[in-house]
Every structure is written in structure tokens, then in C-alpha cells.
Chain A
């Protein structure tokens, strides 16, 4: 029996295009399973009225009522909303926007999209790789919720960063010194000193990758569904 393709909508808010490029790179291997409605591949408005999945990239600018309305419309159109990338999931580097910067962004307050609408899955990463999206759809279509649990619980969190990792795991003595965080930081903000992580705070872009890659932290959030 021929399975019907998933209708997937992509919408970008205030992103740097890194996540969008990742989605475009992932698409060739997903074409048989999903029908991607992305602004680069069409003229004008959305192709369909309803979608199985909406992929949202970039953070929500809270100073722009238009954007908040658009987010709510997407929520109504889509059965499942996925925040793709750190800005959409956890605020990411957009948290540092202060207004008046050149060239963009020039608004003051960016939040992850779960500050505005309920999100089903959050996939952090700056940007997440194309393979990450392919994996997500593989497990999603197989209904493998246990593998996707980490991204489900992350959808309920509004911030995760190197600072949270230090506070929640290292300073509480829960760190086991495995070095996963050091390896996972895309900006080299985390270094192991005396077998424990320290943070170079100017380098942390609040992408949350270290936190969800830390075996102890990810196990704890998966168990309780919230931060310790």
C-alpha cells in the first residue's frame, strides 16, 4: 500500500538562514516521505490549508504582534509543531538581540516559539544538521516515541544553555566528567578543567546542545519532563 506523504510546512521567523539551509539539504532524502511546503520552492502563500507537521525556524519577536498572530495561525493549521534549531526551540543567540544592531535583527525581545504557542517537539542545534531532520522524521513516522522523548520534553523548556548546564549539573555535583558537553559545544565555550566543565561565558550562544547532550542532564529531563 502506498503511504500518503506527510504534508510539512516550513516557516522561518528572524532566523539567520542556517536552519533553512539545513532543511533544504535534508530534503532530497526525505522527498519520498514528505511533501515540503517551503517558501524557496513556491511563489506566494502556503500550498495547503492543513498540515501534518509545521517546522518553525527562528525565534518569535515579541515586539511584533503580526508575528505572534502568524504563529497562532500556524498552530491551528498544523497537527504537530516542531521548533527546529536553537532560536525557535530555546531562544538561542537571538536572546542577545538588543535592538538597533546592523543589519538585523532590530527588535529587542526574542523568545522561543513555545512562549507563544504550544510546541510538540523542539530540536535544538545551531543549526541542527540535515541528518538530524532525516532522523527525526524516521522516528516520527515509525511512531518511536521513546527515541523522540528528549525532543518532546525539550519542547516544554524555555531555555537551556551552558549556564544551565553548569548550574544544574556541574555545581550540584552531578557531573560525571564524561566530556560530552565539551565535545558538543559548537562555539568551544565549554572546556574540561580538572575533569569538570567550565564555561567561557562570552562564547555561549545559548543553543542548549551541551545540555541535551549531557547524559546526566538529558536523563534527568527525560525522567521528570522538567529541569532539575
Chain B
């Protein structure tokens, strides 16, 4: 068995608290400081990448892979999508259709693992790892088995999937915005509807990414950025220099991130013991 300590946060170079300087980006971001959107705007504006592949919520929990080639398209896709999009195959199609040479990918730790492995170890001639310039992984405690969760919402609360307008993560509640009402579901209750695959996942921060991003409750309004290599570090520092983000040292929040990472590993170990 691999020592769990090594597996919690992986290797990193810097830990920062960041916030977008652009008012419009900040306005759209409720939970965090919008630093990821600002970093991607910087990468697009300066020509470091010619596209950003991310997922966009289309309705309810459903998401789809989209390519943003400029600031407007990026802002339109900003926000959480709450479901795993069959990302991999779609991304390849998108990259080829739109003839992208250098892309940034915003994804979850599992997807970052796949893209990171593909970039480091291109097994297939058809791999496109050399076109992936930045992998930005979001902190993740799991995604919903949304068929089951939607069914639960319908049976327990009478909320129909097609009426859901938005879903936001609060401190202790998951807020489901439907019609003109907000339904607050305790997180503990919602967590029962995570995908089984997520319940055995041990990666909270995205160990295979260039930059891990997320937020901690003790620093509302700020995005935690963990840079893992030179390319991640350069992107963050470049965005600060060009006034896209403001940056603070974030070492003091590392404990909060570690706490969640530990919770995820402990949960995975419990579930693995039951499943296997």
C-alpha cells in the first residue's frame, strides 16, 4: 500500500490566495475569488493558449464540454457543472474540429489524472497530450449520480429536473434554485447521492494538474491556488504581474485543504473496505 501521506496533496511549488481584479468576473463568482477565470482570460489574451476547454451546465445537473476562445465565451461557461461530462472523447473532437494547438483544460481531479497521464505518457499515436498546455484541477469531494439525485428531489421534495435553474454549494447546504424558490438540502443528505466511483476516489486536489484551485471556508471571496510545477507557477505569477489577479500568500490555508483531502482519503478507505 502506498503511504497515504504522500498521496494527499502531492508535490507543489506554491500555495496562494488569489482574487480576480476584473469586476465582471467577481460579480459572477459567488463562492470563490474568480481567479481561475481570470487566469484563463490572461492565458487567452496573451496568446499562451488558443482555447480553453471546460464544461458548461446546460440544464439541471447536465453539462457539456465547450471550447472558449475568448473572454466572453469563457465567462459564459464559468460556474460549476456538477456532473462528470464525458470529457475525454469530446475534448479530442473539439480540439480537432477547432484546430486548437495549445489548450487549457479546467477539470476535476479524475480528469486531470487522465490528461496528466496522457501528457506525461503518450501511449497512443492518437494522444493529444502535446496540445494540452495547462491542466487546472478543481478541488472535488465528488460528483452526483444525478439520475438518482434527481429522482430523490422529485420524490422527496417534488422538484422536477426541468425546473432546476441553478445549484450552488453553501456552507452546510446545497441550494437548489428552481422556479422562484430555493431549496436548501443539508450537505450530509446530498452526499448520499454521490457517484460510487467518487466514493472510492482519494484525490481531492488533483495531483496530476499544473494548478489546483478551489476555496476554503476560512477565506471567503478568495481562490486557493496550488501550483505544482514551473508552468503552473509562471501562469499564476504572469497573471499577477499583468494585473489580472491579486495574490496573497496562502500557506496558512494549507491545513484546511489538507483536512478535506484527509476526509476524502478516509472516506475512500472506508468505502473500499466495504466494496472489495
- The chain A residues found within 8 Å of chain B, CB to CB, are 123-125, 128-129, 131-132, 135-136, 139, 146-147, 149-150, 169, 172-180, 182-184, 186, 192, 195, 209, 212-216, 218-220, 222-225, 228
Contact = CB atoms under 8 A, between A and B. Distances in A.
A146 to B, nearest CB: 7
Contacts of B89: 179, 182-183, 192
B196 A173 contact: yes
A176 B195 contact: yes
A39 to B, nearest CB: 24
Q: Which 7 A-B pairs rank lowest in CB-CB distance, beginning with the nearest?
A: A179-B86, A215-B110, A176-B197, A125-B123, A173-B196, A174-B197, A179-B88
Nearest to B269: A223
Given A174-B197, A176-B198, A178-B84, A219 B123 contact: no
In this complex, which of B114, B117, B197 has the most chain A Cβ atoms within 10 angstroms of its Cβ?
A: B197
Contact of A176 (B90, B110, B123): B110
Interface stretch (B156-164, B176-184, B200-208): B200-208
Given A176-B197, A219-B201, A224-B1, A129 B123 contact: yes
B129 to A, nearest CB: 8
Nearest to A214: B114
A213 B197 contact: no
Contacts of B230: none
Contacts of A175: 197
Interface string B117-150: 1101111111100000000000000010000000
Nearest to A220: B200
A123 B143 CA distance: 31
29 contacts: A129-B123, A129-B127, A132-B121, A132-B122, A135-B121, A136-B121, A139-B120, A169-B197, A173-B197, A174-B275, A175-B197, A176-B110, A178-B88, A178-B111, A179-B90, A180-B111, A180-B114, A182-B89, A186-B126, A192-B89, A209-B124, A213-B114, A214-B114, A215-B113, A216-B200, A219-B201, A220-B200, A223-B2, A228-B272
Nearest to A169: B197
A179 B2 contact: no
Contact of B203 (A124, A128, A129, A219): A219
Interface of B: 1-2, 6-7, 11, 84, 86-90, 92, 110-111, 113-114, 117-118, 120-127, 143, 195-198, 200-203, 272, 275-276
Given A173-B196, A176-B197, A223 B124 contact: no
Nearest to A134: B122
A216 B110 contact: yes
Contact of A182 (B11, B88, B275): B88
Contacts of A179: 86-90
Nearest to B128: A183
A216 B1 contact: no
A45 to B, nearest CB: 32
A214 B7 CA distance: 18
A217 to B, nearest CB: 10
Contact of B118 (A124, A213, A214): A213
Contacts of A182: 86, 88-89
B93 to A, nearest CB: 9
Contacts of A172: 196, 275
Contacts of B117: 150, 213, 218
A178 B86 contact: yes
In this complex, which of A128, A139, A183 has the most chain B Cβ atoms within 10 angstroms of its Cβ?
A: A183
A84 to B, nearest CB: 11
Contact of A184 (B90, B123, B202, B203): B123
A141 to B, nearest CB: 14
Given A179-B88, A218-B113, A184 B6 contact: no
A110 B64 CA distance: 43
